Amino acid sequence: MSDAVLQVEGLHKSFGGVQAVADVSFAVSAGEMLALIGPNGAGKSTCFNMLNGQLAPDAGIVRLEGRDIVGLRPRAIWRLGVGRTFQITATFASLSVRENVQMALYSHAGRLRSMLSRFGAAFAAEADALLDQVGMLDQAERTCGVLAYGDLKRVELAIALANQPRLLLMDEPTAGMAPKERVALMELTARLARARNIAVLFTEHDMDVVFTQADRIIVLDRGVLIAGGTPQEVRANPNVRAVYLGSAH
Amino acid sequence: MTLASILIQLLNGLAAAASLFLVSAGLSLIFGVTRIVNFAHGSLYMLGLYGAYSLIQFFGRTPLGFWGAVVLAALAVGLVGILIEVLVLRRIYRAPELFQLLATFAVVLVIKDIALFTWGAEDLVGPRAPGLSMAVEIMGRRIPAYDLLLIAIGPVVLGLLWLLLTRTRWGALVRAATQDREMVGALGVDQAKLFTSVFFVGSVLAGLGGALQIPREPANLELDLAVIADAFVVTVVGGLGSIGGAFLAAIIIGVAKAFCIGIGTVTWFGVEISFSKLTLVVEFLIMALVLVVRPYGLLGKPQAAQRAAEPAPRLQVPSWTFALVWLALLALVPLAADRYTTILLTDIVCFALFAVSLHFIMGPAGMVSFGHAAYFGIGAYAAGLLLKRFGLPMEAALLLAPAIAGLFAIVYGWFCVRLSGVYLAMLTLAFAQISWSVVFQWDSVTGGSNGVFGVWPSAWLADKTAYYYLALVLCGAGILFLWRVLFSPFGYALRAGRDSPLRAEAIGIDLRGFQWAAFVLVGALAGLAGAVYAFSKGSISPSSISIAQSTDGLIMVLLGGVETLTGPVVGAAIFTWLRDAVARNTEFWRAVMGGVILLIVLLFPQGLVGGLKALVARWREQRA
């Protein structure tokens, strides 16, 4: 696939003899929402952590727009255009919502080293524009530490969009949210991804979210990819039914 | 070295390791369950030693009297531990962790003066153990029988602790709480009882460690901080919360120290190396090495993440008018005040910069330092030595000193930013102690325990008022600069990294790099404070680099409140003024200071400035 933003080939990882991820290959294209699903312990998190630089794979290639990123630190991968959100939100709790987004913008512009200028003077308009897109502009002055969980998720999304990413990695983006909020957040993500032509890879437990929001789905079981395709194809796949429903059904 | 002398040093080291293990096991146990870094643990050891001394005198020098005294002293220290837990710590378990630390500092001060009052300032040499005063001959060398007994006691206590922890319900609770304190609370375990009992056992171990040293070591008032430093090193090298690790580390360090004494001075390739002088440093070198290779100690595990920690509050930008009004007021004081007040104010200004620089690193940058005096002291010594040994003019020495302190911070900081939390704090303490022992022992350059004399400013600054203005300008500029940096992109990056290292890395921030730079910045400014202080006193002593100086800084910051910018300045002023006022009136100023700090801790758990702000807010609410 020539238009793939992220291309993964033959990814392997084992922990003390236990094969956590074996020979996983897939690709995500620009503007596409790809869901990575699988039962607990299937190797989703391991897979994710190898893509974002927190874990080194035993073997395999991870290419971002053609460039091999295996062995790079998370912050270097971010510089290449990968935004991330976390299963448990990670924001700067003592800073305001706007300042949180401004941090990412300052960092992107390489302007965090200044010791004498006042933080917050630059990029305020850019930060507000991002907050407007995720519907958090009205809370820009509030401290992140006091926000509701669903709002924090949206702040994270704004932060993740700050470096104009080519790829968004979202680990359980709707974990801990009310069902209604979940769909709304992923609809928002899908809209932004298409408008900005961003590739999105996300893991998710909520099947409603997965089957309504993903363009394609890949299914991991015991470290091995067992199915992949459109939601309809995956829904009809007997392997997937066996994994999720048990082979007796 | 012959085989025999190697064996002797080994046995010496193992004997020393016994007490080290006991006191460290107690510290580790208490930290594991309560998450309190008990600075008063060395004081409990000291009480055990003094207590055993007095009880032996009371019971008489018979075997029964000796061993009865040792056991009773240990149990009595256990009761002191219970008192500390019930009267002080239990009331502030919900306060931020650093406040509990402040409370244990206060306890150190109080216990030191109780010991001074009860036993006096002279060293007390205890008797040999009756019935064990002979020596045993091994390979032609004579080993005190008592040492062999100590060597046996270490493993015996380890075994007993292991049985207690693995075979009893209490032990199961302790192990569970060490792994997950909140879960144990959620399961309905009475935490207050558990904490009290853990404090008792931990304190008994400290007391026993002290009491057993009675034939080997004179009881003296410096033991509290010396022992706590040793115990920190052992627990950190072994891994916090790991009793087996503490045992292993105590043996490594005990033996390493013994060998340093045994080897003495050696000439290698024409260079004379005095290993006996290394004894004060060797444990800290081992610790630095271990932490760099194994950041959680030899047998330690990564600390469980603390859930639902309160986010740090937002910092308010201090207004320029506020700062200028205060500077103007301070500039006017010498017109009305006498010489004594002017000198005291100079001290306060120096300590204010010292405290603000410490606050910068431990508050917004989130790296608690137990050894900030290193940079203050290095700055002071650099200023003094550049003046006296290199003949530089005073002005040049004063300006170069911060740069030299900064150079040391570059080296020390490189190691420190690789760690976090308590391990980071302990490593800063280690570097401060290494610096202290080099200064203390390098007579030919630093003047050793006497220090450096005749460090006076140039003629145009000889007048106390003139020097006060210089201190006010330099330290005031330093404080304003640090405050300014806190609100710069650099300062925000530090705060961001403290709030969430994970997110900081995920948006491309090289957090370690920022933290390292912050380390160097505050090191240089603490060095400036030290240099200004040195010229105002005219002399420098190793105490300017001691643990006591580091804890003074922590007290100033925590007293004023770590959550506000002005807190450290207020804390420095009150602490310095109070110490001066109390010390002029009583020999027992430490106890008074300790009492005042405890009172403040119990009344204002957010620090003075934070507490006053809360009071004002409540008063306004009532009026509205």
**Which one of A93, A118, A159 has the shortest CB-CB distance to B311?**
A93
Which of B507, B510, B512 to probe by mutation at the A interface, max A CB count within 10 Å? B507
Inter-axis angle of helices B169-179 and B191-211, nearest 10 = 100
Distance from CA of B484 to the nearest CA of A (A): 7
Q: What is the DSSP string of chain A?
A: -TTEEEEEEEEEEEETTEEEEEEEEEEEETT-EEEEE-STTSSHHHHHHHHTTSS--SEEEEEETTEE-TT--HHHHHHTTEEEE-SS----TTSBHHHHHHHHHHHHHT-TT-SSSPTTSSSHHHHHHHHHHTT-GGGTTSBGGGS-HHHHHHHHHHHHHTT--SEEEESSTTTTS-HHHHHHHHHHHHHHHHHHT-EEEEE-S-HHHHHHH-SEEEEEETTEEEEEE-HHHHHH-HHHHHHHH-TT-
Radius of gyration from C-alpha coordinates of chain B: 25
Q: Which domains does chain B have, with CATH numbers?
A: 9-293 (1.10.3470), 340-623 (1.10.3470)
What confidence score (pLDDT) does residue B107 get?
95
Q: What is the DSSP letter of B124?
A: B
Distance from CA of A80 to the nearest CA of B (A): 10
User: Strands across the sheet with A33-37, in order?
Assistant: A82-85, A167-170, A199-203, A33-37, A216-221, A224-229
What confidence score (pLDDT) does residue A1 get?
44
Contact B488 A119 (CB under 8 A): yes
d(CA B377, CA B412): 14
Q: Which two tokens stand for residue B440?
A: 């203390």
A125 reaches B (C-beta below 8 A): no
Instruction: Answer yes or no: are the C-beta atoms of B366 and B421 closer than 8 Å.
Output: no
Of B450, B613, B536, B507, the C-alpha closest to A130 is B507
**Which one of A73, A107, A114 has the shortest CB-CB distance to B507?**
A107
Q: With bands split at pLDDT 50, 70 and 90, how would you rate the model's confidence at B284?
A: confident
d(CA B149, CA A144): 59
Contact A74 B510 (CB under 8 A): no
Over residues B134-145, the mean pLDDT reads 80
Chain A residues in contact with B505 (beta carbon < 8 A): 73-75
Q: Which residues of chain A have pLDDT under 50?
A: 1-2, 248-249
A109 reaches B (C-beta below 8 A): no
A153 reaches B (C-beta below 8 A): no
CA B375 and chain centroid, separation: 14
Residue B604 has pLDDT above 60, yes or no: yes
What confidence score (pLDDT) does residue B455 get?
85
* CA distance between the termini of chain B: 81
d(CA A225, CA A217): 11
* CA distance between the termini of chain A: 36
What confidence score (pLDDT) does residue B303 get?
65
d(CA A35, CA A186): 11
Distance from CA of A55 to the nearest CA of B (A): 14
A159 reaches B (C-beta below 8 A): yes
Contact B311 A143 (CB under 8 A): yes
Which of A54, A75, A86, A94 to probe by mutation at the B interface, max B CB count within 10 Å? A94
Contact B508 A113 (CB under 8 A): no
What confidence score (pLDDT) does residue B619 get?
84
Chain A residues in contact with B493 (beta carbon < 8 A): 103, 106-107, 112
What confidence score (pLDDT) does residue A248 get?
47
d(CA A20, CA B14): 45
Instruction: Answer yes or no: are the C-beta atoms of A155 and A101 closer than 8 Å.
Output: yes
Which of B484, B503, B514, B520 to probe by mutation at the A interface, max A CB count within 10 Å? B503
B319 reaches A (C-beta below 8 A): no
Q: With bands split at pLDDT 50, 70 and 90, how would you rate the model's confidence at B307?
A: very low
Distance from CA of A248 to the nearest CA of B (A): 38
B496 reaches A (C-beta below 8 A): yes
What confidence score (pLDDT) does residue B90 get?
86
- Residue % of chain B over a pLDDT of 90: 46
The one-letter amino acid at A230: T
Q: Which residue has the tokens 């009675």?
A: B214
CA dihedral A13, A14, A18, A20 (to 10 degrees): -20
Interface of B with A in 464-493 (CB under 8 A): 484-485, 487-493
A237 reaches B (C-beta below 8 A): no
Over residues B56-85, the mean pLDDT reads 93
Instruction: Answer yes or no: are the C-beta atoms of A16 and A32 closer than 8 Å.
Output: no
Of B528, B497, B382, B526, the C-alpha closest to B445 is B382
d(CA A205, CA A186): 13
Give buried/exposed letters for B453-467 (b at 16+ CB in 10 A, else e). eebbbeeebeebbbb
Instruction: Answer yes or no: are the C-beta atoms of A95 and B472 closer than 8 Å.
Output: no
What confidence score (pLDDT) does residue B621 get?
81
Interface of A with B in 10-49 (CB under 8 A): none
Residue B306 has pLDDT above 70, yes or no: no
Q: How many residues does chain A have?
A: 249
Contact A92 B495 (CB under 8 A): yes
Contact B313 A94 (CB under 8 A): yes
Residue B269 has pLDDT above 80, yes or no: no
Distance from CA of A113 to the nearest CA of B (A): 5
CA dihedral B520, B523, B528, B532 (to 10 degrees): -170
Q: With bands split at pLDDT 50, 70 and 90, how would you rate the model's confidence at B134?
A: confident
Q: Which domains does chain A have, with CATH numbers?
A: 1-81+165-249 (3.40.50.300), 93-164 (no CATH)
Contact B314 A143 (CB under 8 A): yes
A106 reaches B (C-beta below 8 A): yes
Of B415, B421, B385, B389, the C-alpha closest to B400 is B385
Chain A residues in contact with B306 (beta carbon < 8 A): none
What is the overall mean pLDDT for chain B?
88
Interface of B with A in 558-577 (CB under 8 A): none
d(CA A135, CA A154): 8
Distance from CA of B194 to the nearest CA of A (A): 32
Q: Which two tokens stand for residue A184?
A: 């709304």
Q: Chain B: residue nearest A53 by CA? A: B506
Q: Which two tokens stand for residue A199?
A: 């590739």
The one-letter amino acid at B205: L
Over residues B20-40, the mean pLDDT reads 90
What confidence score (pLDDT) does residue B609 get?
74
The alpha carbon dihedral of B249, B516, A96, B564 has a sign of: positive
- Chain segment B336-379, per-residue pLDDT in tens: 888 889 999 999 999 999 999 999 999 899 999 999 999 999 99
- Chain segment B390-421, per-residue pLDDT in tens: 989 999 999 999 999 999 999 999 989 988 88
Distances (CA, A) of A168 to A108, A129, A137, A159, B558: 16, 19, 21, 11, 42
What confidence score (pLDDT) does residue B1 get?
65
Quickly count: other Cβ atoms within 10 Å of residue B527's Cβ: 32
A111 reaches B (C-beta below 8 A): yes
Q: Looking at this predicted complex, what is its ipTM?
A: 0.90
Q: Which two tokens stand for residue A86?
A: 């976390």
Contact A108 B514 (CB under 8 A): no
